[in-house]
Amino acid sequence: MTAAADAGDAAKCPYFVVRDPEAVRDVLHRPADFSPANALVAVTPLEGPALRVLQRAGFALPPVLASNDTGTHGGIRKVVAGFFTPATVAAMEPRIRELAREAAVKAGEQLARTGTVDLVQAVAAFPPAVVMLELLGLPVRDLADLKRWGLDSMELFWGWPGAERQLELAHSAAEFYIWLRRLVAESMAAPGRNLFKALAEHGLSRTEMSSLGYFLLIAGQETTTQLISTTLFRLLEGGEPVGWKEAASDAGARSVVRHVLATESSVPTWRRVAAHDTNLGGDLIPAGTELLLELSGNRITANPNHITARHGPETPLPPDAGRGHSAGLVFGSGIHRCLGAKLAELEAAVIVREAAAALPGIRLHDPDPAWIRLLSFQAPRTVTVVAGQG
């Protein structure tokens, strides 16, 4: 079993890249050997000015859920999982469909009015955020800020910002954190059940709750927005096993979402760190080695040396992207497996289906949009379309 990528100069890449799906699964199922402690650590170390901005806001991200490698993880996970049970997610389907239809109809109106519409903003961005907040019992407000903060924090922690950009992103992250601390405090006194009350009852401090909220309020919606964006883009580009017309059916939409998950998921890689000297397949992995696990097709693990490049990878997606992948590992595996997998797949399928049904005959206006290309996140920033002929 060859766990490491063989291409390129390994000395330049800071990660031990694991591409073989069996080896990835092995790593994820050995949390005592391969800790998630580095899962949320900034890829580009934060510099003094950016750190000072964060410190002034009291910013702290103690490990609570995704990066928690202690015995407290299981209990906390159970509390959060209570908000995303299969029954709760299934019961949310009509609401998801309602939000998706509303967004698709508005997109159609904008198209008729102006001749063009960006489907990322019009259909992919907001429904997942509304659904997440409603499921968590939190107020649905400040959605445009939430979207901006999510993207900025992803870039700050998973990107390669230069010093100036880092400072801008730190201001945004600090703003998000202050907003979050206020939300946590307010939620304690709010009527009814909500995430933060449940976590407080479980014994979490406000700092721990803010840390969990910081990750969850991004992971719980922006990743889904990005999966939808890529799916819409690839569908309209053509060349997918499913076309725009077929995507207007439940089965067609579900199948194209699963295809994109395998070939080009919004979370194509995830990190682990060796807790002590250990082995993976035939390789000796020294303590402290950071591993980059390939979960889906992507440009990063195709050429890991680009990880060191200032602006991240710009290599073309290799023609074999996702080959050998099923959608089986895209939500991770084992004790940290994604708690939103069912929700994300359902939302993506419903939103893609409703867009395809409401906007027949549309064509891509910009076949070469800018992409979000971070260590662990990828998607087109815009999917701009025009009406088709006839």
- Residues lying near ligand HEM in the complex (CB under 6 A): 28, 36, 65-66, 77, 80, 84, 132, 216, 219-220, 223-224, 227, 265-267, 270, 295, 330-334, 336-340, 343-344
Q: Which is nearer to ligand HEM, 103 or 339 (CB)?
A: 339
Q: Are 80 and 339 in contact (CB under 8 A)?
A: yes
Q: Which two tokens stand for residue 81?
A: 């999982």
Q: Which is nearer to ligand HEM, 257 or 285 (CB)?
A: 257
Question: Please, what is the minimum distance in Å from the beta carbon of residue 38 to ligand HEM?
Answer: 11
Among candidate residues 236, 228, 240, the one with its CA nearest the CA of residue 265: 228
Question: Please, what is the minimum distance in Å from the beta carbon of residue 349 to ligand HEM?
Answer: 11
Q: Which is nearer to ligand HEM, 50 or 295 (CB)?
A: 295
Q: Which two tokens stand for residue 270?
A: 């995830």
Among candidate residues 385, 347, 359, the one with its CA nearest the CA of residue 98: 347
Distance CA 157, CA 149 (A): 12
Distance CA 244, CA 352 (A): 9
Question: Please, what is the minimum distance in Å from the beta carbon of residue 305 to ligand HEM?
Answer: 23
Q: Which is nearer to ligand HEM, 182 or 337 (CB)?
A: 337
Question: Please, what is the minimum distance in Å from the beta carbon of residue 359 to ligand HEM?
Answer: 22
Measuring CA to CA, how many Å separate 293 from each of 16, 180, 307, 343? Answer: 8, 30, 14, 23
Question: Please, what is the minimum distance in Å from the beta carbon of residue 227 to ligand HEM?
Answer: 4
| φ, ψ dihedrals at 76, nearest 5° | -65, -45
Question: Please, what is the minimum distance in Å from the beta carbon of residue 218 to ligand HEM?
Answer: 9
Report which secondary-structure segment, H or E, holds 108. Answer: helix 93-114
Q: Which is nearer to ligand HEM, 8 or 137 (CB)?
A: 137
Q: Which is nearer to ligand HEM, 111 or 372 (CB)?
A: 372
3-class DSSP state for residue 378?
Answer: strand
